[in-house]
Amino acid sequence: MYTVEFEPDAAVITSIDESAKCEDIEVIIAEDDIVFLRQFVEELNNHQLICISYQQLLDIMAALKSPEGAFYARFTKDWNT
């Protein structure tokens, strides 16, 4: 399950682990195309944060359907192609 929220300066996607084995993860896409991945770590009692570019996020999405190898992701406006 996931939620999508639009803030004035970012879009926030929260993925909820339906198996309850992992904490929720937030993907925060800022208006400057910087992407933050954030997950709460109970043992540390705080959030761990990773910062990536929007292109890196697109690479990860494309990699989910790719065979082994090295690739450049090129996207069109139609995500169905």
Q: 40 in a domain, yes or no?
A: yes
For residue 49, the model assigns a pLDDT of 97
Q: 29 in a domain, yes or no?
A: yes
Q: 52 in a domain, yes or no?
A: yes
Q: 81 in a domain, yes or no?
A: no
**Residues in contact with 68: Cβ distance below 8 Å, sequence separation at least 6, in sequence order:** none
- In terms of pLDDT, which residue wins out, 76 or 51? 51
Domain count, the chain: 1
The predicted-structure confidence for 42-65, as pLDDT tens digits, reads as follows 999 999 999 999 999 999 998 989
Q: 74 in a domain, yes or no?
A: no
**Domain of residue 12, residue span:** 2-63
β 10-15/46-53 pair status:
unpaired
Q: Is the whole model's pTM more than 0.75, yes or no?
A: yes
